[in-house]
Amino acid sequence: MIEEIKVRSFSHFISLIEDDTEFDLDNKLVGVTIYRGQNCDKPLLPKIGRHKKSANELLDIEDLMFEEFAKRCQPFLGFEPENDWDYLATAQHFGLPTRLLDWTENPLVALWFVVSNGTIEGDEGVLWVFDVDEENLVVDFEVDPFEIKGTKVFDPYHFNRRITSQSGWFSVHQLKENSKKSFVPLELNKRYSEQLRKIKVPNNFFEEFRLKLNKMGINKATIFSDLDGLCAHLNWKYFNK
């Protein structure tokens, strides 16, 4: 059973997340806590898994899209991808449906994604907390990301400012050939249920939390770290705040 907690205040939220990342006595990372903010309670599925197609259809489409992306993306990149993990992270970042799901190691960034707009459905946003143990972290990038078993988590190379400013991480999800189902939502996978927590944020806190996050330097200008983000932040600051 996944633990669910409803936030009572901003200070309550801080108390819920302040001790999450774990280190051993030699200051070596033995596990990491990552976060995902959603303005409504929707399944933890990678974007390609939200399409209503069979597993084999998705695998065929994924293969064609990824191959074409890898062939055509080079003129637009400011770096040379070293492996398929780099290509996947780049494709995900620029909107291609992939088997990756976006996370962050900064809980305040995740909270901003919860409260930055109104809810789409219902009256609560959701912040997912994923306690990732060492065995689920990708450390060998020579492994094929399309052949992984289960769900793995990795810290991508920071090939642009947004990944840096958002402290971005990704989970990469398994899709089995000839499976009756496509991707299984992470929260329904019994293997990970004890590693997930759900923090619910009532809609009536959104405006207050946006103001508090802005005081802490978390806003569109810092999260998106480009002129689009700066202009969106100034629009909020002078017209909506």
Is the pLDDT at 29 greater than 60? The verdict is: no
Is 90 in contact with 159 (CB distance < 8 Å)? yes
Band (pLDDT 50/70/90 cuts) for residue 52 is: confident
pLDDT at 120: 67
User: Is the whole-model pTM more than 0.85?
Assistant: yes
CA 158-162-206 angle, 5° bins: 135
DSSP 29: E
Q: Where are the domains of the chain?
A: 3-206
Provide the 8-state DSSP code for 94. Answer: T
Tell me the average pLDDT across 88-111.
95
Is beta strand 124-133 parallel, antiparallel or unpaired with respect to 29-38? antiparallel
Q: What is the pLDDT of residues 165-188, one digit of tens each?
A: 999 999 999 988 777 678 889 999
pLDDT reported for residue 226: 83
Reference 132, options 170, 160, 167; nearest CA is 170
Local confidence band at 25 (pLDDT 50, 70, 90 cut-offs): very low
Please tell me the distance from the alpha carbon of residue 105 to that of residue 86, in angstroms, as a whole number. Answer: 19
Rg, the chain, Cα only = 18
Least confident span in 11-15, 50-54, 61-65, 184-188: 50-54
Task: Give Cα separations from 198 to 41, 70, 102 (angstroms).
Answer: 10, 36, 16
Residue 208 near residue 7, CB atoms below 8 Å: no
Per residue in 103-136, pLDDT (tens digit) is 999 999 999 999 998 766 668 999 999 999 888 9
Tell me the C-alpha distance between 86 and 228, whole Å.
24
DSSP string, 138-200: ---TTS-GGG-SS-EEE-----SHHHHHTTEEEEE----TT-SSSPPPGGG-TTTGGGEEEEE
Rounded to whole angstroms, the Cα distance separating 127 from 151 reads: 19
Average pLDDT, the chain: 90
The predicted pLDDT at position 77 comes to 86
pLDDT at 179: 72
pLDDT at 20: 67
